Structures are given as C-alpha cells and as structure tokens.
Structure 1
C-alpha cells in the first residue's frame, strides 16, 4: 500500500474568480441583467475579460475552496484540476501551491483558456456573474495520478465534474484507485440542478459503495430523493449511504449513518457578509476531523467553525488562519 501522505485529495473544476467594480451603465451597455449568472463561450469570455478594466483575481472552484480550507487548518492537502497553459492557469497553480497543497496537474496546451467566473460588482454591491468553464471541463482519466490518490486518506470530488464525459471517467478512475488502496471517497452533490441531471447515477454511486461519504445541503438531499420533506430524505439516505453529512444553514448540520444521527448547531456569526463557499469550507473542517479520527459531532463542529469564518467576509476562501481559529475554540489541531 502507498504510504499515507495527504489527508484529503480534492478533484474539481479549477476556476479563477475575477472581480471588477463597475458602474451600472456597463451592465446596460453589455446587455447584462444585474444579479444574474450566465455561462458564456470562449469568444465572449475573452471579449468581456478584455473590457473589465482593473480587476482582482482569486482562485476558486468548489473542491479547490475545500482544499484551501483544509490547508488553512494545517492539513496535508492535494488537488487535481485542469487549467490552461496561460496567465490565469499559472496563477491558479501558484495559488494552490502557495497554500501548501500538492498540485501537479499538467496544464492544457493550445486549447481552451483557463476557466473563469467574471464577477461584476456594481456600487450597490450586487454581483453579476459570467462563467466560462473552458479548460476545467477537459479533465481526463490520465490526469488522475494513482500515487497521489493512493497516498490520500480521503479523495473528495465535486458533483459538477459529472457533466463532461471524460471528467466522469476520471471521477470513476479516482474512486476505483482510492478503494484499491484501501482509502475512502467522498462526493459533494454541488447543487440541486446537478442532482436533477444525474439523480440516478449519483444514487447508484452511493448505493453500490463507490462513495463512502456524501455531502449535501438540505435542498440537494431533497432533490436527490424527490421529496419536499427533509425527514423523508434523511430516512432514505440513512438506508443508502455509509455516511451522509447534511448542512442546514443557520440550523447547523446532521451527520447520518445507518446506526446513528447527530445534530450539531451552527457556529455563531456576528455578521453574515457573503454565503459563497459556506458548504465548501464546512467540508474542509469535517474532512480534516475525519482524517484524524474525530467523532462525527466534533467533525461537524469544526466544519461549522470553518463555514462561519468564510461567510463573515467576501470571498470563498478563508481570510484568517483556520488552525488558529480552531485552537482558540478548543480544538486540538
């Protein structure tokens, strides 16, 4: 068996977030609807990026954010995600390695640019998002490094990866490699629309044991089981999953196994600024705890603490050391 080197390997869509403050007239001139989110093609991404003017870039992507949180806790982290051989791709790799994560996915050459979400912020604080998926959708099974998977206690994947066929096969390969090495796998359902597209396949992965740990918010879990009643969905996932972790927003979270269910309250937040990344960072704390054999309520408490930090400011990655925050709150990190 490969020696254990990483607590968590994240596999996901590598997306650069690009923020620009603009006047409302810019949206009118570009025929953009304030507060909307749209997917755009290569030509439009290049054109709009060129017109944004002064901008702030931050690396993002759901699993990437989770890995950033895990690294901030002091965990040993690795990440696989596809970027292009361009300026944004180089910066993304620099950011991941800068936080201490292992990131060695070969960049895409002479093809689609690095994925980006161009976020236009008007003076009233409203965000208008233009997302180009580009290179991140071209992840293939060849990008999955067996050595890294085998050296990771948990391989964590985002449901968004299930869209491109090659990425889906990469996903399946990672799960097989992890289990062959005696490691665990985790899946986050990503969003309710993703669940609607792939409900039967996601359920299949949970029921046949390909996924050991399922992460979902309450909306995604209800969508998975096509019910408006959360209790019905909880009872169903208890039968299907080895471990399901369900976030409930301000109501906290549930950790559900076939034998037990634990409810943990949300960590207090003085001022909720931006909910982006809450689920991603909750997973950071939970997975960190799981890799260190914390009991489930303690895993969830650490997840709640990480989520509380990220929603207290703009951006989906922590602004302060989560390790210091955890130590201040009685965790032995």
Structure 2
C-alpha cells in the first residue's frame, strides 16, 4: 500500500463562498466571525436572502482544507469524511481528488451532503453557517485502519466532537494511530468547540496527542486565561509539541515546554481569513513529514497561511510545491 504523509479525518462539507456586508449579518442576526451549526431550513433561508450574490463552491471542512493545502505544498494524504450520493457529494469527491487528496469513503444514498455557507465581509472576517448533513453520520466503520497505519501522521479536527458517532471515530483513529506508531495531531478548530468540550479536549490532548494546533483564542479558552503566554504554557503541559498561531504576529511553537516565537510574513492585501489556521497546519505538517526542524516547519506554516489570507476562500490559486527552499532559504 502507498505511504501517506497525513491521514486526515473530519467533516466533509461543500463550502459555499459568498462576499457580503456587515449589514447583512446584522439583518440576519448572525454573530460575526464564528461558526454556527444550523439546520437545512435555516441555511436555505440564508441562501435565498443571498440571491443575486456570486457564489463559489469548494470541497471543504476544516481538516479537508488542511489536506488540500498539504497537497499544494507537495505532501501526500488521504481524507476520511462522509458525503451523500447527491450532486454535492459527487462534486466533493471529484474536487478533493483533483486537488491531490485520496477520498474513497463510499457515499450513502440517503440524506444530503453537508454544506457550509461562508460569509466574508470587507474586513476579511468570515462567518460560517454549517449544516453538517450526512457528514455527522461518520462512524468507526468508515476509518480505514490499513491506510491509517500506512501514514506518518493522523490529523483530526475539533469539530468532530459535536456528534457522538464522529466523536467515536475520532477516538478510534487516535487509539489505533498510537498503537501503530503513527503520530497524532489534533486541531481545536474553534474557541466555541473548546468551550463546549473543554474537559474532553484536555483529556484528549494529554492522553493521545503528539501535536496540537490552535490559535491564541482557542488556547486561552482551554487554559481559562486571558494571557497568551500562560495559555501556551498550559497547553504545552499537556502535549509534547504545540503550535499556537497569533494572527499577523506569526506563531509560537513549544517542544517539551520550550516555547519559541516564529515571525510571520507580510501580507500585501488581507482579503479573507477563511482557512488561515487550516493552511498553517498544512504547512507545518508538510514540514514535519519532510523532516524539517520545528522552527522551519512553523515558518512554512506561517508562509502558507500568509498566502491564503490574500485569497477569497480556503484554496490557494498558486502552487507552492518545490518552492520551500526558494522561500525559506537553506537555513
């Protein structure tokens, strides 16, 4: 069987990207800058209200965005998520494979493929309205243990913790990875995920994780502090290696409690923060899989994230494969 750099597990969602105004969010009553789970009727109401706006489709979900950006950097990966045999499901599989990621979870005939309406305002903030659809029925039976064992890293998203069956699939993946010597990387995904499942996330981090990916707000939520320094110290006390992004300030990386700051890259024009954290994780995982140092892996993560925020949506329009030495130098 082919070897993969990363075995990804997460929600399989078709992203519907729409540029809008703050006034639209206020009119609809949505809290800006966060992800909200909605039912299909609510999402349909939002899409109806957006009639006349340009919409773009992408295969997505947090961990899926990471896997696609990983392939863009030159990494290899296989992704596990659940779709239906509807039009969106067919689009999802084809789009993932066109991006260079293996996606072979059999579609199901009932239900609808999950969708996420991503509303991006002029300040580049994104507000996400997610209908999980059939993605919430992912189970332990969908985890291909042979492909997991043929991978260097398992990467899982915190959004899996919202549904019992996806939670079980997450734990099984982590347990089997540890048994097989596959490194486990977990992203907290969103401060609201952390608040909803704080004690579970602490336990997962301590018992299973070799690597954690989070941003400052997620780390603060887990640590119960307003200090980013104390936050990363707390997460670092639970996990050997922690990557904590800090927006334009770059990122912090901790190895066995030794915390270093790695500067970011300048951004000419900030257009959309969708997928910034996902892209950082992709860059860092690529670096780790290629044997980069932690600092160099973090630096590449910073670069990939700096490029994605200059795009609309979570997909890079430029190819980064083979450009690491050109961009980072030989150091």
Q: Normalized against structure 2, the TM-score is what?
A: 0.89
- Partner residue in 2 for 1:65: 65
Shift of 1:108: 2.5
- Which shows bigger deviation, 246-255 or 33-42? 33-42
Q: How does 1:86-165 map to 2 (within 5 A)?
A: 86-111=86-111, 113-119=112-118, 129-165=128-164
Structure 1 CA distance, aligned partners of 2:64 and 2:160? 13
So what's the TM-score if we normalise by structure 1?
0.89
Q: Do the aligned partners of residues 93 and 263 (structure 1) sit closer, same or farther apart at CA in structure 2, a change above 3 Å counting?
A: same
Q: Which position in structure 1 is the counterpart of 2:311?
A: 313
How is 1:49-88 mapped onto 2 (pairs within 5 angstroms)?
52=51, 55-88=55-88
Greater displacement, 39-48 / 256-265: 39-48
Question: How far apart, CA to CA, are the structure 1 residues paired with 2:48 and 2:264?
Answer: 41
Stretch of structure 1 that moved more, 319-328 or 178-187: 319-328
The structure 2 residue matched to 1:32, chosen from 28, 33, 36, is 28
SS of the residue 1:240 aligns to: coil
- Is residue 236 of structure 2 the alignment partner of residue 238 of structure 1? yes
Offset, 1:169: 0.5
1:224-243 CA-partner distances (Å, limit 9, x unpaired)? 01011122222222322111
Say if 1:289 and 1:298, in contact at 8 Å, map to a contact too.
Answer: yes
Secondary structure, aligned partner of 1:220: helix
Looking at structure 2, the residues matched to 226 and 34 of structure 1 have their Cα atoms a distance apart, in angstroms, of 26
Unpaired runs of 5+ residues, structure 1, are none
Of 116-125 and 216-225, more deviation after overlay is shown by: 116-125
3-state SS of 2:107 partner: coil
The 3 A distance-change label for structure 1 pair 124 and 69 is: closer
* Number of equivalences: 326
> 1-side partners of 2:255 and 2:22: how far apart?
49
Aligned-partner Cα distance in 2 for 1:206–1:174: 14
* C-alpha deviation, 1:259, in angstroms: 5.1
Cα-Cα RMSD? 2.7
Change (3 A) 1:331 1:231: same
User: Aligned to 2:28, what secondary structure does the other structure show?
Assistant: coil
Larger mean CA deviation between 321-330 and 67-76 belongs to 321-330
Could you list the per-position Cα deviations for residues 234-254 of structure 1 after superposition, in whole angstroms to 9, with x for gaps in the alignment? 222232211111111111111
Structure 1 position 130, deviation (Å): 3.6
* Separation in 2, partners of 1:125, 1:150: 39
Which of 273, 287, 292 lines up with 1:289 in the alignment? 287
- Give CA deviations for 1:46-86 in whole Å, capped at 9, x if unaligned: 56657746632112211011001100011111111111111
1:12 to 10, 13, 28: 10
Segment of structure 1 superposing worse, 235-244 or 192-201: 235-244
Of 175-184 and 155-164, deviating more is 175-184
Deviations 1:281-322 (A, max 9, x none): 000010011112211100001101100110111111211002
2: distance between equivalents of 1:202 and 1:127? Answer: 25
The offset of 1:8, in angstroms, is: 0.8
Greater gyration radius: 1
Aligned-partner SS, 1:309: helix
